[in-house]
Structure 1
């Protein structure tokens, strides 16, 4: 129906933005917490771009001292 098509047309930009935010290829991976060191886990079918972004995520986490910061917060020191 026309009403449905108009509604879909209005939602499409937001849905595309949401898809981009949830795309594993854009984020590359996520840090595994609870370990002594930094591990970034990627999707099993990651392509080269996803691996590049996972390495970028690891670099950002290292520069931000993610693991020591979390350890410090948890220990209360």
Structure 2
């Protein structure tokens, strides 16, 4: 990152430290390395379909292991 102004440097450092704080929180809540969490959650996708003005969103299918991981991140049980 090539930043030269004080505002740009401050913004960059804010983003970097925020990302570090989020990664640490995820690691503390799940007990897993951030790389492992990302690998497990990356394949999850939802779909939103709009037909004749009706919009429907379909959540991803979650296996028990990923459901447990997401529960640890959110602090609550997710519904099916």
Alignment TM-score, normalising by the size of structure 1: 0.32
Which structure has more RCO (C-alpha within 8 Å, separation ≥ 6)? Answer: 1
More strand as a share of residues: 2
More helix as a share of residues: 1
